[in-house]
Amino acid sequence: MSEDFNMSMRKFLKQVGVTSQQAIEEAMRNTDTAGKTYAVKAVVTIPELGLSHEVTGEIKGQE
């Protein structure tokens, strides 16, 4: 893969990570999350390539 491809993908994934973390932190800051576990799902799609990639997990609230 080319260097331009690698750089554009890294930039996109960094943006996804940073903005997702900010959104999750904001949502949890306004909610009593103590002792709770939340199911989380992220979906990345590229319609032109027929790609739909899903990642699931859990996030534990702050004590």
Tens-of-pLDDT digits for all 63 residues of the chain? 799 999 999 999 999 999 999 999 999 988 888 889 999 999 999 999 999 999 999 999 987
Burial 23-46 (b: 16+ CB within 10 A, else e): eeeeeeeeeebeeeeeeeeeeeee
pLDDT of residue 6: 96
Cβ distance 5 to 22 under 8 Å? no
pLDDT of residue 62: 82
For the entire predicted model, the pTM comes to 0.81
- Return the DSSP state at 50: T
Q: Which residues pair with 41 in a beta bridge?
A: 56
State both tokens at 32.
């009593």
Q: Where are the domains of the chain?
A: 3-60
